[in-house]
Amino acid sequence: MAVDHGWHGSVVVGATTVAYMTEWTLEMTGDALENTHFGSTYDRGFEPGLRSHTVSFSGYSEDTDAAQHALLAEMTTAALPAAVTLYMLTNNDAGSTAGFTGSVILTGITRGATPDGLQTFSANGRVNGLLSTV
């Protein structure tokens, strides 16, 4: 059985890889709309509804990383925030890319520091519209 190793993964904003990321998560959900009506049997019925997707990624903070700065700017400048094109790749080795992409509205960024460790960076958001595979 062939499996992907985690170290092949990456997070890309636009065309720029976010440096020092150590994990990403993509949660895909869909609504189940109940259509049970009078006269139905003892079992409930459902129809597929809307889908939604949330993303999160985290790793180490890097003060000179352009992608981390671009994400921070979306949350800290006076300008109206915009959606970013985000790629969450499962295989970014030797020029091969596979994974997911979508327009993402950032819903949060967290920076952290402890005296005995490295500074951290994490972000999360909601996919706006279609989620595609690459």
For residue range 84-94, what is the model confidence (pLDDT) as tens digits?
999 999 876 65
Q: Give me the half-sphere count of Cα atoms (radius 13 Å) on the Cβ side of residue 76.
A: 9
* Burial grade of 54 (CB within 10 A; 0-12, 13-18, 19 or more): middle
Residue ranges per structural domain of the chain:
6-133
Chain centre to alpha carbon of residue 56: 4
Mean pLDDT score of the chain: 91
Q: Nearest CA to 89 among 31, 4, 29? A: 4
Q: With contact defined as beta carbons under 8 Å apart, do 13 and 86 qualify?
A: yes
**Contacts of 63 by beta carbon, 8 Å cutoff, 6+ apart:** none
Of 8-12, 33-37, 104-108, the least confident: 8-12
- Is the pLDDT assigned to residue 5 strictly greater than 90? no
119 in Cβ contact with 111 (< 8 Å) = yes
Domain formed by 6-133, architecture:
Roll (2.30)
Percentage of the chain beyond pLDDT 70 is 93
Helices then strands, counting H and E runs in the chain, come out as 1, 8
pLDDT band of 96, cuts 50, 70, 90: low
Q: What is the pLDDT of residues 34-84, one digit of tens each?
A: 999 999 888 999 999 999 999 999 999 999 999 999 999 999 988 888 899
The rounded distance, in Å, linking the Cα atoms of 73 and 1 is: 43
